Amino acid sequence: MAYSRITGLGYYVPDNVVTNNDLTKWMETSDEWIQERTGIKERRYFEFGKDTNYSMATAASRQALDRAGITADDVDVIVYATITPDYFFPGSAFLMQRELKMDGKPVIDIREQCSGFVYALSIADQFIKSGMYKTALVVGSEIQSSLLNKSTAGRNTAIIFGDGAGAAVVQATSDPAHSILSTHLHADGRYAEELYMKDPGSSRERPFSKELIDEGGFNVFMNGNAVFKHAIVKFGEVIQEALTANGYQSSDVNLLVPHQANIRISDYVRQQMGLSEDQVINNIQRFGNTTAASIPIAMAEAWEKNKFKEGDLVCLAAFGSGFTWASALIRW
């Protein structure tokens, strides 16, 4: 029986730091409001002409490959999560595959919003467990800054999101004691319109008309309250599901890596689980919410800072648009 193990982590964030005070140039808001409601102090925005969704993913992947001690030639499949691809189609995985000179190797583009990385990890895990592939490159990458409405009308979403990419190399192992123990995926389309970007929708009569731009369908819409209320429940549920499936309880967890949605959501989950501040990774203060990239960036940073070691029980948990929610339990 094959198991899968994360053998390398990497991340890339653009150099361009945008503080809360910078945002006040474009919209009515304040550093105090943003920090109090979300925990965010600054985020990164891509630099046009320098960063692209796939170039950031490639940089993160190269770092993950180096750290795993392998090259792109050794990778059997790419699973790439993003809601902000470079092109409408084909997906950014193709562009990264070309950059890494992996011609002929399969690529899978998925969306799944803020749960995208955990979904992608689960897909890689199943490929490896089934014996179909031995090495997968799992990526989350987002350029969201160019798609945000940075006027006062868009301030409830524009303050939250940032750009960046993270990647993990996942490889087959025969050792279940150091492997991904389980993954748990959920979705509920009844809430699709609580956090979404409507346009350019293919079912529109004239998807690219000026009227639709004026209507605001090209801006992210979020019912912040509904997202908040569901997130605090679903994070707890899906973490418990992972623990129960493996016969563990909260006190067995060494490190929780939550999707970086909002510091208040992370704090609530941390308190529910009885974990210390040290046991929960939070970098939303510096990077904002980078959607599919947030968990691999947080994991890669935590790894660099020696926040976890071999044998630790690490839990990943996500919630996002869809709604989607997901978890993964890893014995490192």
Catalytic residues: 114, 259, 289
Out of 97, 289, 290, 324, the only residue in the binding site for ligand COA (CB under 6 A) is: 289
Which CB sits closer to ligand COA, 45 or 94? 45
Nearest residue to 135 via CA among 68, 80, 181, 182: 68
Out of 3, 8, 14, 38, the only residue in the binding site for ligand COA (CB under 6 A) is: 38
Task: Tell me: does residue 228 bind ligand COA (CB under 6 A).
Answer: yes
Q: What is the dihedral of CA 9, 319, 81, 172, to 10 degrees?
A: 50
Burial letters for 246-284: b for 16+ Cβ neighbours within 10 Å, e otherwise? eebebeebbbbbbbbbbbebbebbbeebebeeebbbbbb
What is the x/- site pattern for ligand COA, positions 110-139, by CB under 6 A?
----x-------------------------
Smallest separation (angstroms) from ligand COA to the CB of 2? 33
Nearest residue to 257 via CA among 231, 280, 286, 288: 280
Please give the residue whose beta carbon sits closest to ligand COA in the complex.
224
Restricting to residues 18-37, name those near ligand COA by CB under 6 A.
Answer: 29, 33-34, 37
Task: Tell me: does residue 44 bind ligand COA (CB under 6 A).
Answer: no
How many residues of this chain interact with ligand COA, rule: CB under 6 A? 20
Query: Residue 110 in contact with residue 80, Cβ under 8 Å?
Result: yes
Which CB sits closer to ligand COA, 141 or 262? 262
Which CB sits closer to ligand COA, 63 or 291? 291
Helix and strand totals (H; E) in the chain: 11, 13
Task: Tell me: does residue 296 bind ligand COA (CB under 6 A).
Answer: no
Task: Tell me: does residue 254 bind ligand COA (CB under 6 A).
Answer: no
How long is the chain? 332
Instruction: Return the range that interacts with ligand COA (CB under 6 A); candidates 53-61, 142-150, 186-194, 224-232.
Output: 224-232
Task: Tell me: does residue 316 bind ligand COA (CB under 6 A).
Answer: no
The helix (H) or strand (E) run that includes residue 185 is strand 180-187
Query: Residue 199 in contact with residue 207, Cβ under 8 Å?
Result: yes
Nearest residue to 63 via CA among 169, 149, 187, 179: 169
Task: Tell me: does residue 227 bind ligand COA (CB under 6 A).
Answer: yes
Task: Tell me: does residue 155 bind ligand COA (CB under 6 A).
Answer: yes
Burial letters for 290-326: b for 16+ Cβ neighbours within 10 Å, e otherwise? bbbbbbbbbbbbbbeeebbeeeebbbbbbbbbbbbbb
- Both tokens of 104, joined, read 């002929």
Task: Tell me: does residue 224 bind ligand COA (CB under 6 A).
Answer: yes
Task: Tell me: does residue 156 bind ligand COA (CB under 6 A).
Answer: yes
The binding site for ligand COA (CB under 6 A) comprises 29, 33-34, 37-38, 114, 155-156, 159-160, 224-225, 227-228, 231, 261-262, 265, 289, 320
